[in-house]
């Protein structure tokens, strides 16, 4: 255990959707801010829900910390034909996705076949392109914006002010 100011630091992993069986009587509010030097060292950013673009008809994000140039992607999506489609969508926001090869010791391990793989975001290729801020948040939202441009919407959501089908006018 790590001691901070004399008090032991207790860490528990609780999977999403599972109840926690640990007592929280001694828990505090957690870390409220992260030093910018720490974020810079890890290529991280803080996502402030009120300061990011949000696509129409999609939920606002929750506050989080994320790596700006790294995504975890299911391995099958980093292969043809999926990677080409992803990069076509990302090109609209000036980025492309480059898979990172697994270490030799792990390559081909069937137990890791479905574990998300690391992929790095880089600026899209091409002459005459304007500089772009490579940011995982924008990359994460690009496919959603692409679907909206094609007239598709998120299943189960309806536009405000519209009556569901079958309702009287």
pLDDT in tens, 95-129: 999 999 877 877 777 777 778 889 999 999 887 78
- Using pLDDT thresholds of 50, 70 and 90, give the confidence band for residue 76: confident
Is-contact 118 80, C-beta < 8 A? no
Q: Could you give the 3-state DSSP secondary structure of residue 65?
A: strand
Residue 97 and residue 124: Cα distance in Å, rounded? Answer: 9
Using a pLDDT cut of 70, give the percent of the chain over it: 67
CA Rg value for the chain: 21
Spell out the alpha helix ranges (H) of 62-122.
82-91
pLDDT at 7: 59
The pLDDT tens digits of the residues spanning 126-154 come to 877 888 889 998 888 777 655 555 554 55
Q: Would the pTM count as exceeding 0.75?
A: no
The pLDDT tens digits of the residues spanning 13-58 come to 667 677 766 655 555 555 667 889 999 999 999 888 888 877 777 7
Pairing verdict, β 95-99 and 117-123:
antiparallel
Statement: residue 93 has pLDDT above 80: yes
pLDDT at 20: 67
The pLDDT tens digits of the residues spanning 15-24 come to 767 776 665 5
Residue 155 and residue 61: Cα distance in Å, rounded? Answer: 18
| Alpha-carbon torsion (11, 17, 23, 25), positive or negative | positive
**Exposed / middle / buried, residue 52 (Cβ in 10 Å: 0-12, 13-18, 19+):** middle
Residue 77 and residue 70: Cα distance in Å, rounded? Answer: 15
Residue 93 exposure: Cα atoms within 13 Å on the Cβ side:
23
């Amino acid at each position: 255990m790590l001691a901070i100011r004399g008090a032991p630091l207790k860490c528990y992993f609780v999977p999403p959707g599972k109840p926690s069986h640990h007592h929280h009587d001694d828990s505090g509010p957690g870390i409220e801010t992260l030093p910018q030097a720490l974020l810079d060292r890890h290529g991280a950013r803080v996502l402030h829900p009120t300061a990011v673009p949000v696509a129409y008809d999609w939920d606002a994000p929750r506050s989080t910390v994320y790596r700006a140039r790294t995504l975890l992607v299911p391995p099958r999506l980093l292969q043809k034909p999926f990677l080409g489609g992803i990069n076509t969508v990302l090109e609209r926001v000036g980025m492309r996705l480059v898979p990172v090869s697994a270490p030799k010791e792990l390559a081909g391990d069937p137990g890791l076949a479905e574990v998300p793989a690391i992929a790095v975001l880089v600026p899209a290729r091409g002459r005459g392109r304007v500089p772009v801020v490579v940011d995982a948040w924008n990359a994460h939202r690009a496919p959603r914006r692409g679907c909206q441009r094609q007239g598709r919407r998120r299943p189960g959501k309806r536009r405000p002010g519209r009556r569901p089908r079958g309702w009287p006018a």
